[in-house]
Amino acid sequence: MDMMEFMDLVYDGEKLSAMVEHGMAPTAVLRAQIHGLVVLEQLKRCGLPQYFHNFHVAGVTIGEFMTLGREENGWLLQRLVPDAKDAAVLSRHLQQRQGFVGGILCDGKDVAVKITDHKRCRLSMRQGTQVPTEIVMLDRIESPSFDGVVRLLDYYREGDCWFIVMEKPRVSQDLFDYVTDKGRLSEDTARNFLRQILEAVRHCHSRGVIHMDLKEENILVDLDTEKLKLIDFGSAHPIGDDVHSEFYGTKAYGPPERISSRGLFRARPAEVWSLGILLYSMVHGNVPFEENSEIVRGRLRFKTGLSDTCRDLILRCLRQNPDERPSVEQIFSHPWVTETKVSDTAVARDNKVTAASSSPEDLGELGVHGEGPGEGDEGRDEGRIGRSSAF
């Protein structure tokens, strides 16, 4: 049975149910139950889950209800979303699992499970076994006293697939969707969020890990508390080899030196560039650059009314010369970050364009690129760039 035949079968819930009852389930599914949900005990191939998105059986989306079997245990999957690159990232609710995993009582908790192909992911040694490097990085940053990074709960291998089980706030949204819903964030909210992101980055550094893919999609917002959590360590590296030749992150958040310096870049200045892109996107509702040519040119447009200190921090982080960018600790002490309230005297300037390589005294602003509904307004910027991955 090929994939198209299986997809057609998925649409026909009664036929699939009858086949299951008579032991004639397709090879991709070892067991299925059509009682308001579909149970999948094992997937034949790692890439298979992405085909289930939005397919229905008996009126239920398969992507919302799937169980992957692991002996007598199972995971009830929710909101299946395929990743276009190396893995399928699935948001799930833990089910049918009693006891403790990693010292935490997991029964009934919301979790996220990332499925990745053993043959395609970076591997490292852990306890004498080759495992995805992401698992080693998550293990390094584990700390019961710091909750600003995602916590690894469990991992296991089924065939060529690795299943990485992580915590997930029950009511959460990634920062991309959060900003999209609001149009853009106020400076006070953006400041609160940036401080939390900086704390997460600092914590990772203290454990010898650099994330290497800071972006809105990799930050979860707890909608009840507005606490942030840094996720997706699939691109993370140990701190040590400072010069890198391969960029595993997202183009719109990548520094110009990865393009213009024979592809070589240093991890920490590149991370500061990503922090500048994050801050710009939070207060404008969109990233400043899309194409490599725009990144190298480094011309910025600022929205009307943005405070001088916020502009200054963005410009410092987005210096074309990586040696001129501040460190994470210097960002912590920047006047905008240490402020408790946005100044009421922020001056709106005439439309100008400024280069990210210019000095702080040459701050410019355009009330065009970032115009759109502010936090709390209805609607969103029509030009907001689509997400690059999902969680």
Residues taking part in catalysis: 213
Measured N-to-C along each axis, helices 267-284 and 175-182 cross at an angle, to the nearest 10 degrees, of 30
Which of these, 263, 271, 275, 273, lies nearest to 239 by C-alpha position?
271
Which of these, 70, 192, 20, lies nearest to 9 by C-alpha position?
20
Sign of CA dihedral 290, 293, 298, 304: negative
CA angle centred on 223, ends 346 and 106, rounded to 5°: 145
Which residues contact residue 87 at a Cβ distance below 8 angstroms, ignoring those fewer than 6 apart? 46, 114, 115, 116, 117, 121, 234
d(CA 158, CA 275): 36
154 vs 151, 167, 221, CA distance in Å?
Answer: 9, 10, 22
d(CA 104, CA 99): 8
Region label for 119, one of left (φ > 0), alpha (ψ between -120 and 50) or beta (otherwise): alpha
**CB atoms inside a 10 Å sphere around CB 74:** 18
d(CA 372, CA 245): 38
d(CA 264, CA 8): 48
